[in-house]
Structure 1
Amino acid sequence: MQTQKVINHIVNWLKDYANNAKVNGFIIGVSGGIDSAVVSTLAAKTGLKTLVLEMPIRQKADQVDRAQDHIDFLKANFPNVEGFTVDLTPVFESFEKVVDDYKEGAWSKNLALANTRSRFRMLTLYYYGQLNGLLVTGTGNKVEDFGIGFYTKYGDGGVDISPIADLYKTQIYEIAKELDILESIQKAAPTDGLWDADKTDEDQIGASYPELEWAMEQQKKGKTPEDFDGRPKEVLEIYLKFHNATQHKMNPIPICEIPEDLK
């Protein structure tokens, strides 16, 4: 990959999009992870107003530290960057208290609450984005957004633009290195940060990002699990399980079309 040229392309695309949309710049939620660190840095490089928010909800200390360190890094290097923390833990815990357990089952409840965390963050980004005339800027990568649907519908999937959604995770690491993103962020295990337990993305999915990228390429070639043995077969099965189950996230909302003779 021609890393510096890709960086320049994304920065110019962001700047052109914002100018054409007649907005002031961008707002990004930063988590201490690689994707949000790269996106916020690319946005900052446009020279347009860039607002970065850390929105902890019972967050692990190391995630909070990395997010804060990244905000400090951006502020030190880009005068157009502002950033602060909005602690959503009290909001989330208040919500936990008022909703009842209409459906029993610990897994269903925990998953619903995990997705609720992401949706509270989306609401917060749009609130501050509208106040400041900023585009909510997505941080999803190619495998997450179009491969396995590893994001929350109307949570971190609720954005105005997606600058890195055509890049694999491994390519984003290349960009992070070129941008001199903090080493602690580059080395951190990817996690969505939506659980009280310390779960990495690989723990949840059952495969690493390089493996999933391989599987996505095999699917494009029309390969099936039956074409492989051992771990490759298992990885492609994992990828397809997620891919098939999350089509409702990737496809447009189904519309019931009414026949003209019934209108």
Structure 2
Amino acid sequence: MTNSTSFHAEKINQHIVKWLLDYATNAKVKGFVVGISGGIDSALTSTLCAQTGLPTLCVEMPIHQAESHVSRANEHIHQLKERFPNVSKERADLTPVFESFKKQVSTTSDEKALHLSLANTRARLRMTTLYYFAGIHGLLVAGTGNKVEDFGVGFYTKYGDGGVDVSPIADLLKSEVRLLAKHLNVPKSILEAKPTDGLFGDDRSDEDQLGANYDELEWAMQEAEKGKTAADFSGREATVFSIYKRLNQMNQHKMNPIPVCLIPKGYK
């Protein structure tokens, strides 16, 4: 877990905002679009994008969303629009689209596989929606994944929330996301909310799905980078380290480039 005394929030803030502005300028696009979930990662990302002064479109995309998620998302967007005149909002209720999709595809008796596939479908419908808005307004899709999710345990949907143009907070650990979000006055309701991806239509948290909280996973990620193994730990530490290593290994397909079958010389 990051020590707040050694975390230079304002320097990091300015660095990310400049990086976003430079990237958008070089790409000759107008600004950014961000999917707003009511969680801290999307709140921080949209705040950083808004600080560039470029058009920043915040999109709410409920699919059978819990009311608490919706209210936090709206609170954040309202606050951001008051602070930054370049921020605008769109709402795309994807619940009917999701229900229509389910009627058009076959099902399975494997309930676990079905629920996971439908959860990933929600994320991919949202990605499609963000790219729709990006296309018609000339914007970049800004990703909301943090370092532990994107490069540690692979806790995102391939071609869903993993389908983005830029990743401004992907080098920040979750504890660093919290520190920077607090520095930038993200609403208290979001800062204190239990992390959840909201993809299953219930109140399960990220910790419920992962088996460990983000502070534990950050610790495991840092220990793994030192070359440690599960044998170096005992008790809860050994359990958490094993969870991290298992998720990191099984989700490498998300983190690595798409495998390409190279044709030997002389075959073509």
Q: What TM-score, normalized to structure 1?
A: 0.99
Equivalents in 2 of 1:248, 1:90: separation in Å?
31
Give runs of ≥4 in structure 1 deviating > 4 Å.
Answer: none
Amino acid at match of 1:236: F
Equivalents in 1 of 2:182, 2:166: separation in Å?
23
Amino acid at match of 2:80: L
Q: Which residue does 1:86 correspond to in 2?
A: 92
Alignment of 1:45-124 (within 5 A): 45-101=51-107, 103-124=108-129
Tell me the alpha carbon deviations over residues 119-144 of structure 1, each in whole angstroms, 9 at most, x when there is no partner. 00000000000100000000000000
Amino acid at match of 1:231: R
SS of 1:20's partner is helix
Q: Which residue does 2:42 correspond to in 1?
A: 36
Tell me the alpha carbon deviations over residues 76-119 of structure 1, each in whole angstroms, 9 at most, x when there is no partner. 01000001211000000111111112x43000000000000000
Gaps of 5+ in 1: none
Question: Among residues 131, 134, 138, which one is paired with 1:129 in the alignment?
Answer: 134
Tell me the alpha carbon deviations over residues 24-68 of structure 1, each in whole angstroms, 9 at most, x when there is no partner. 000000000000000000000000000000000000000000001
Equivalents in 1 of 2:154, 2:109: separation in Å?
25
How many correspondences in the alignment? 262
Residue identity (%): 58
Q: Which residue does 2:8 correspond to in 1?
A: 2
SS of 1:212's partner is helix
Equivalents in 2 of 1:190, 1:196: separation in Å?
14
Equivalents in 2 of 1:196, 1:22: separation in Å?
38
SS of 1:260's partner is coil
1:194 aligned to 2:199?
Answer: yes
Question: Among residues 14, 18, 22, which one is paired with 1:12 in the alignment?
Answer: 18
RMSD: 0.6
Gaps of 5+ in 2: 1-6
Equivalents in 1 of 2:14, 2:233: separation in Å?
39
Equivalents in 2 of 1:77, 1:221: separation in Å?
42
1:252 aligned to 2:247?
Answer: no
Amino acid at match of 2:67: A
Equivalents in 2 of 1:105, 1:45: separation in Å?
46
